[in-house]
Amino acid sequence: MTNLFHKARLALPAVLLLSACATSVAPVEVTRFHTPDPVPASGGFLIEPMITGGDSSMEFITYAAAVSQELQRVGFTDESGKQTFAASQYVVKMDVQRNVQSPYSNRSPVSVGVGGSTGSYGSGLGLGIGIDLSGKPKDIVTTSLAVQIRKRADNSAIWEGRATTQAKDGSPAAQPGLAAAKLASALFSGYPGKSGETITVK
């Protein structure tokens, strides 16, 4: 796990560069929840997969770097470089889900329309055939970033949120680096945010 966070630190410069282009990503839907008491934006944290023994892929590392950047921006301290991991005040649980859906399954490339009027057979019958020449539509990639901030002492959650966006498969906005920067930025925009409210961040 130590190598994961060191890799996340190395990935951070790339995320910073990609975030400059984040405006090309579609709007992000964000929902957040937190405790009634004021949520502190200070103290050390470590990022871990939400599922024990979970993801250590480069995609996860990219998202971890983006989340770390935003947490530090609002006032927390990344303690991944320290030797004593148990010293961090908070554990940040993170999960990334990507779902690819094909719009082609709900659409026919060929449409046939028949329109007629009263009268003898064929006297008022019109037959129109429309053929879609635009090619197969791109699959839609839905990416969701979920984050929980928990106190290490008692494992209680003080804040959690989810950010979701969509992009056409193969587009720059669907790439993990750009999506990670946009989703993390939207998720922690105006931290801690209004509990229970869903907002759209452009």
Q: Answer whether residue 182 is part of any domain.
A: yes
Q: Does residue 109 belong to any structural domain of this protein? A: no
Indicate whether 134 belongs to any domain. no
Q: Indicate the pLDDT class of residue 56, thresholds 50, 70 and 90.
A: low
Q: What percent of the chain has pLDDT over 70?
A: 66
Residue range 33-52, pLDDT digits in tens: 999 887 788 999 999 999 87
Count of C-beta atoms within a 10 Å radius of residue 181: 26
Range of the domain at 30: 2-99+140-194
167 vs 10, 25, 98, CA distance in Å? 26, 7, 11
The torsion angle over the Cα atoms of residues 81, 84, 87 and 92, rounded to 10 degrees, is 50
Number of domains, the chain: 1
Question: Which one is predicted more confidently, 109 or 37?
Answer: 37
pLDDT at residue 163 greater than cutoff 90: yes
Q: Is 132 within a domain?
A: no
> What pLDDT does 112 receive?
37
| Alpha carbons 128 and 173: distance in angstroms, whole number | 38
Question: CATH number of the domain that 149 lies in?
Answer: 3.30.160
Question: Is residue 126 a part of any domain in this protein?
Answer: no
Per-residue confidence (pLDDT) for residue 133, from 0 to 100: 55
Residue pLDDT, tens place only, 57-93: 888 999 999 999 999 999 999 998 775 555 689 999 9
Tell me: cis bond preceding 192? Omega within 30 of 0 counts: yes
- What pLDDT shows up at residue 37? 83
- Give the Cα separation of 155 and 51 in Å (integer): 14
**What mean pLDDT is reported for the chain?**
77
pTM of the model: 0.73
